[in-house]
C-alpha cells in the first residue's frame, strides 16, 4: 500500500517531508490540503491529526503528524546510511537540530515571516531580533561542528527542515549575509541538491507572491490567529 502525504504547497514542514520522500525515491500519493479553504480545520481532517495541522503521513492506515516525527519514521523505515545516522552522537546532533528548528529557528522565522502574511500580525522589532538570534545560533552551530551540513558532512533529515525554514527568509528578500556559514550552507544545498531545492523553491515562489499580495482569508474563522478583515 503506497504512502499518502497530506501536504500544503507552501508549508515549510510539508516541503521538508516532500524532500525526504524524494531523496528516498519513495512512491507516494500527494494530497494537497487547501489552507485558505480551511480544509485542515474540519472534523474529518482532525481524525487524521487532532492538532489540525499539515502535514500528515498515512502509511497503510498508520497516521502520523508532526513533520519531525514523519521524517524520523521515514528514515527509520527506509534506512539510509547518512540521512539519519545510527552513530549515537551523530544521531543526537540530528535530533538536536530538529528540536532547535522546531523550538527556535523555524518558530522565530515563521512568527516573523509567515504569520503576518497570512494573518493580522505585524513584523515587529522583537520578531526581527528573535529571527536574527536564531540565525546567529545556527551560524554558531555550523561553526562548532565545522560540517558541510547542519549536523554532519552529509545531508540529514535536519537539513530538510532547516532549508525550508531559511527559504521563508529568502521569500521576503531577507539578507542572510551577516550569517556567513548559514549562507554558505544554504547556497551549497541548492547547488548540490537541485532536485530537492526545486521542491522548496516552488513553495518559496508562492510565499513570495503572497508577501507582495497577501491572501484574502477574511472568510476564515480561525481558533487562534486574528484574521485580516477585507478592506
Ligand atoms: N509542528 C508541526 C507544525 C505544522 C504546521 O504548523 N503546519 C501549518 C501549515 S504550514 C498548519 O497546519 N497550521 C495550521 C493553522 O495555522 O491553522 C509540524 O512540524 O508538522
Give the domain-ending residue among 49, 77, 105.
77
Summarize pLDDT for 92-147 with one digit per residue, the tens: 999 999 999 999 999 999 999 999 999 999 999 999 999 999 999 999 999 999 99
In a domain, 51, yes or no: yes
Query: 101-111 as b/e, with b when 16 or more CB fall inside 10 Å?
Result: bbeebbebbbb
Measured from CB, residues less than 6 Å from any atom of ligand 1 are 8, 11, 13, 40, 53-55, 65-67
Ligand 1 test: best mutation among 17, 34, 54, most atoms within 8 Å of CB? 54
For residue 68, give the ligand 1 atom closest to its CA. Answer: 19
DSSP H or E segment with residue 163: helix 157-171
The pLDDT, as a whole number, for residue 12 is 98
81 band by pLDDT with thresholds 50, 70 and 90: confident
Ligand 1 test: best mutation among 6, 7, 13, most atoms within 8 Å of CB? 13
Q: Specify the residue with its C-alpha closest to ligand 1, atom 17.
A: 53
Summarize pLDDT for 164-223 with one digit per residue, the tens: 999 999 999 999 999 999 999 999 999 999 999 999 999 999 999 999 999 999 999 999
Using alpha carbons, select from 85, 80, 81, 127 the residue that is nearest to residue 108.
127
Summarize pLDDT for 3-60 with one digit per residue, the tens: 999 999 999 999 999 999 999 999 999 999 999 999 999 999 999 999 999 999 999 9
Say if residue 80's pLDDT is above 90. Answer: no
Q: How many residues does the chain have?
A: 231
Using alpha carbons, select from 77, 72, 74 the residue that is nearest to residue 95.
72
Query: Are 38 and 121 in a shared domain?
Result: no
Instruction: Report the CATH number at residue 118.
Output: 1.20.1050.10
Ligand 1 centroid to Cα of residue 76, in Å, is 23
Cα 17–chain centre separation? 8
Say if residue 1's pLDDT is above 80. Answer: no
Q: Specify the residue with its C-alpha closest to ligand 1, atom 12.
A: 53
Its pTM stands at 0.98
Query: Are 13 and 68 in a shared domain?
Result: yes
Task: Tell me if 54 sits within 8 A of 8, measured CB to CB.
Answer: yes
Query: Are 65 and 108 in a shared domain?
Result: no
The pLDDT, as a whole number, for residue 182 is 98
Q: Specify the residue with its C-alpha closest to ligand 1, atom 1.
A: 66
Instruction: Report the CATH number at residue 43.
Output: 3.40.30.10
In a domain, 43, yes or no: yes
| Cα(160)–Cα(163) distance, integer angstroms | 5
Ligand 1 centroid to Cα of residue 113, in Å, is 14
**Domain span at 50:** 3-77
Amino acid at each position: 500500500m503506497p504512502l499518502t502525504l497530506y501536504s500544503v504547497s507552501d508549508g515549510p514542514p510539508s516541503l521538508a517531508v516532500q524532500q525526504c520522500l524524494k531523496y528516498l525515491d519513495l512512491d507516494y500519493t500527494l494530497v494537497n490540503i487547501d489552507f485558505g479553504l480551511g480544509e485542515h480545520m474540519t472534523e474529518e481532517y482532525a481524525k487524521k491529526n487532532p492538532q489540525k495541522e499539515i502535514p500528515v503521513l498515512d502509511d497503510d492506515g498508520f497516521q502520523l503528524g508532526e513533520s519531525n516525527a514523519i521524517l524520523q519514521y521515514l528514515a527509520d523505515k527506509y534506512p539510509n546510511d547518512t540521512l539519519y545516522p545510527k552513530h549515537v552522537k551523530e544521531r543526537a546532533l540530528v535530533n538536536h537540530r530538529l528540536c532547535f528548528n522546531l523550538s527556535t529557528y523555524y518558530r522565530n522565522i515563521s512568527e516573523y515571516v509567515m504569520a503576518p502574511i497570512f494573518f493580522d500580525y505585524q513584523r515587529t522589532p522583537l520578531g526581527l531580533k528573535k529571527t536574527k538570534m536564531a540565525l546567529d545560533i545556527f551560524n554558531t552551530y555550523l561553526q562548532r561542528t565545522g560540517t558541510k551540513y547542519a549536523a554532519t558532512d552529509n545531508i540529514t533529515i535536519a537539513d530538510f527542515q532547516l532549508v525550508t525554514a531559511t527559504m521563508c527568509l529568502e521569500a521576503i528578500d531577507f539578507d542572510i549575509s551577516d550569517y556567513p556559514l548559514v549562507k554558505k550552507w544554504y547556497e551549497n544545498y541548492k547547488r548540490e541538491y537541485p532536485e530537492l531545492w526545486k521542491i522548496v523553491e516552488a513553495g518559496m515562489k508562492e510565499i513570495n507572491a503572497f508577501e507582495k499580495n497577501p491572501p484574502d482569508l477574511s472568510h476564515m474563522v480561525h481558533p487562534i490567529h486574528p484574521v485580516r478583515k477585507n478592506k
